[in-house]
Amino acid sequence: MNKTIVIGISSGIAAYKIVDLIKILKTSSKGRSAFGRKNIEIEVIMTQTAVKMFGKKIFEDALGKKVYSDLISKDFDYKKVLQKREVEHIKLAGEASLFILAPATANIIGKVACGIANDLLTTTLLAVSSPVLICPSMNTKMWSNPLVQENINKLKQFGFFILQPDSGRLACGSIGVGRLPEPEIIAKELFYLLQKKNQLKGKKIIVTAGGTQEPIDAVRVITNRASGKMGAALAEECYLQGAEVLLLRSKNSVSSRFNVKEEIFETSKDLEGLIKNYAQKYDVIFHSAAVSDFIPENKLDEKLDSQKHIILRLYPAEKILHQIKSWNPKIKLIGFKAVFRLKEEELIKTGMKKLKDSHSDFVIVNDVGKEGIGFGVDTNEVYIISPKGLLAKVPKATKREIAQRILEYLFK
């Protein structure tokens, strides 16, 4: 079955890159691309300002057919519309398996975020029910403007996918974040969205993320360096693959880029209560949150005097992971275990013990003593442990790539 990709081009100078994107997509549809996606139809819509900047010819030559730009054509006749019961922007929106807005200027991002539809591109976009990938491109100061970021956050909340702009030299001469990613990167992203969007459809998945905070006094806490990036990446990948996702994340952890339902916790007791409440209603849980191993024996309601010596007594916290199966014996439980500078054989042994003690179905182990692995960074390296032993080692990669590989192994 053919997939139709509709490309919306707004008036960013980086629009010239879309010519190469069209060529990549057309090559792929004929089976001659590394992306391996056949049977792709491509449609292109341009804003009037983009047409004034570039003309249509370079895009029509690459596409091999006409490019759309007029909301009301010169020969428009409402009688023909009523007779055929066909409106161009509704037809284009209905055909879209995926809609891409690239480049997306600050202007069009603002219009879409506010539901403004005053040309063919924005009118079509409002009628689209397929996934939408927004590829921002603009000056660094414009990109960092709070108004633009507020609009980006709005689009995320509405379920739009955002491909972050690259950093580098911009058309205006300044250097910073705002470059449209290269066509190969955009193509890779959209093919991923097309391929994965139904893989976990029907699954209800909980992901826990970030580190707990256990109060010492009115202002101080015991916590850890967990950023929640691994959990957020897992939540996003599950969402991209069609699952219904609940992200339980700590107050100071990163949030999802997408419209993933989330609830916030601070202490291990908060998190325990949330999981206990939701576990019966979900099929799968990735318990990647870094829960404190120790809790202060006494929490003061006032601020400790920093000039005095204190003795802090801690007691071991109850393991939330070990309780989850008692709350829902049928839930697929994937636990996480951080170790520190263990040899591979010892690491696997530790993972096996954690799996048996917690009755998990799988345990993901990473060695946070290695450079660039685990807490606070954007990369990870993990070992996937099953009841039979080591299922797979996933070498160091971005946490998003790690999340993709984990899902590939666990939901084959």
Instruction: List active site positions.
Output: 89, 172
Task: Classify 383 as helix, strand or coil.
Answer: strand
Structure tokens at 38: 């056949």
Q: Which class for 90: exposed (0-12), middle (13-18), buried (19 or more C-beta within 10 A)?
A: middle
Residue with tokens 């008692």: 326
The structure tokens 């490309």 sit at: 7
CA 282 to chain centre: 20
If you ran DSSP here, which 8-state letter would residue 334 be given?
Answer: E
Q: Beta partners for 98? A: 5
E-state strands within 244-293: 244-250, 261-265, 284-287
| DSSP character string of 77-126 | -HHHHHHHT--HHHHHHHH-SEEEEEEE-HHHHHHHHTT---SHHHHHHH
Single-letter residue type at 391: L
Other CB atoms within a 10 A radius of the CB of residue 332 amount to 17
Burial of 314-331, coded b for 16+ CB within 10 Å and e otherwise, reads eeebeebbeebbebbeeb
Handedness of CA 212, 214, 215, 221 (dihedral sign): negative
The rounded Cα 358 to chain-centroid distance in angstroms is 29
CB 393 within 8 A of CB 376: no
Q: How far apart are CA 2 and CA 409, in angstroms?
A: 28
* Nearest residue to 150 via CA among 210, 91, 193, 109: 109
Give the residue among 238, 226, 326 at the shortest CA–CA distance from 275: 326
Per the CB < 8 A criterion, the answer to whether 221 and 304 are in contact is no
CA 204, CA 37: separation in Å to the nearest integer? 28
- Which helix (H) or strand (E) is 3 found in, with range? strand 3-9
